[in-house]
Amino acid sequence: MSKIPRSSRTPASRRSNPLKGHSRPVTPLELAAGLLQQTVRFQQPPDALLAQALRGPQRLGARARAAVGDALFAALRDLPRWCWLRQRVRGEGVSEVDVARLRDDAAACRDIVALAWPGEAVDVLGASATDAGPDALAARSAAERLPAAPEPEPVRLGLPGWLIERLRAAVGDELAALADALRAPAPLDVRVNALRAKRDAVLTELRAAGLPAEPTPHAPWGLRLPARTPLQAQPAWVWGHLEVQDEGSQLIAALVGARRGETVADFCAGAGGKTLALGADMRNTGRLYAFDTVGARLQRLQERLQRAGLTHVHPVTLSHENDPRLQRLAGKIDRVLVDAPCSGLGTLRRHPELKWRHSPQTIAQMAALQLRILTAAAQLVRPGGRLVYATCSLLPEENDAVAQAFQRASDGAFELLDAGELLAAARVSRADAVTADGALRLWPHRHGSDGFYAVAWRRR
C-alpha cells in the first residue's frame, strides 16, 4: 500500500545490470543508454538504477557521472522530443513514443541519450563516441541542421497523448504551464523535525553554512533548497533535525491534525515520510501505527524513526487491506491517513518515467484499488475521528472520483470537512491558496510543490 506502485520491481538478486556483457570499460554514453533501456522496463526507478550503476566497476570522473544522470533524466522528461527528432533525422514517419520498442532497441536508446546530452558536457559525449560504435554525435549534429517544423502536441508538452487529454480537462488553459513545470527538476524540500529543532534556528544554521535555504510558502515546518543540495554533512541532518519531504507531503500530514496522546494510523506508510511528520505533531506521545504490505519498507523506517527520536511508532506489516489483525482496532483510531497507492503522476518532476509506465487501463485499476483501501481504512476511525484520503496524482479519476464514490457508499456515516479550515488551524500559511472545493489541491506550476490531492472527513 505504497504511494507509487512497486508491483513490477524485482528483487536485487534478479535485477539486470545495464553494463553486463561489456568486455572493456563502459563509456558514459553506453552507460546512459543502458540505463534508459533498463528504466523503460519499469523494474526499478531511474534514480535507483543510476545509483547502482555508479557504484559499479567503471571509473568515471565527476563530470561524466553528472552528465550520465543529467542525460538520463533529460531523455525521460522530454522523450517525445528526442524520438521526434530521431524520426526526422532518419526520415521516418512521425509516431508516438513506443516504449515497448525502446526496451529492445539499444541503438535508439543511444541516439536518444545523445540528443538529450547536456550541452555543457558535450566534450564528454564526444570522448565516448569513438568506443561506442557509430558516431554518437552524428544524430545530434544532424538534428541541429534540421529545418524548423511544427511540433506535434506531445512534443511541445513532453507527455503521452492520453495524459494530455486528461490534464487538459483538469487545468484547461494552464496545460502548457503545467507541462513545463512537470519537466523541470524539483527543488529539495525538507521538514524541520519539531521534536528536535525550530525552523528559524535551522534556517539560520543552513544559511550560515552557505546554503540558500528559504521557508516553504505554506508548510510551517518546511524549508526549500536548490536541487542536489548536499545535506548529509550538515549538523542539522546528522542530528535528525531535518527530513527530506516535499512541501505537499508536509501539508497532507498537517491536514491529519494529529495531536498529543491520540491513537493515529498511517494506513499506507510506505517509506514513512508522513509517519515521521505525524509523530512529530504528536510530540512522541500516544500511539502511531505505520501499516504497509511490504515489510522491507517498514524495516527501513526503523532507522529513520531512531534518527528522528520517535519511540511511539508501531510498524505492522499487513497481508492486505483487510488483514484480520485490523479488526481489533475497528472504531478505535482517532485519525487515519490513507496515502493511497496511485499513479504518482504528481511527482513527474522526480519520477519522469511514470508518464510512460501508466495508461488509461492502469489508472482505472488504481482507482478501484484506492476505493477498496479507503473503505477498509475507514472502518478503523472512531466516532468523531478524522479520515484523510490523499494521493500524489493529478487525475480526477484517482482523486475526486474515488472520494465521491466513498462518500456515496458510506451512506452518511462520514461528514466532509473543509480542508482550508483544517489547514488554517494547523498554522498553514495562506491555506486558501492550496485548497479548492473543500479539498487540498496542489499543482507544480501553481505551488512549486509536487502535485497532491487530499480530502478529510469526520465520522459521525
- Catalytic site residues? 392
Contacts 24+ apart (CB under 8 A), 319-328: 319/293, 320/293, 321/1, 321/267, 321/293, 321/372, 321/373, 321/376, 321/377, 322/376, 326/376, 326/379, 326/380
Cell 550503476 belongs to residue: 53
How many Cβ atoms sit within 10 Å of the Cβ of residue 369? 18
DSSP secondary-structure letter at 45?
A: -
**How many angstroms separate the CA atoms of 380 and 326, rounded?**
8
First CA to last CA across the chain, in angstroms?
26
Written as nine digits, the cell of 385 is 475521528
- Pairing, β 188-192 against β 214-215: unpaired
Written as nine digits, the cell of 243 is 527530513
Type of residue numbered 446: R
**How many angstroms separate the CA atoms of 286 and 298, rounded?**
20
Helix axis angle for 28-39 and 106-116, nearest 10°, is 110
Helix axis angle for 122-129 and 136-144, nearest 10°, is 130
**110: nearest Cα among 86, 91, 93:** 86
**How many angstroms separate the CA atoms of 438 and 384, rounded?**
19
**How many angstroms separate the CA atoms of 119 and 117, rounded?**
6
The sign one gets for the Cα dihedral 310, 313, 317, 321 is negative
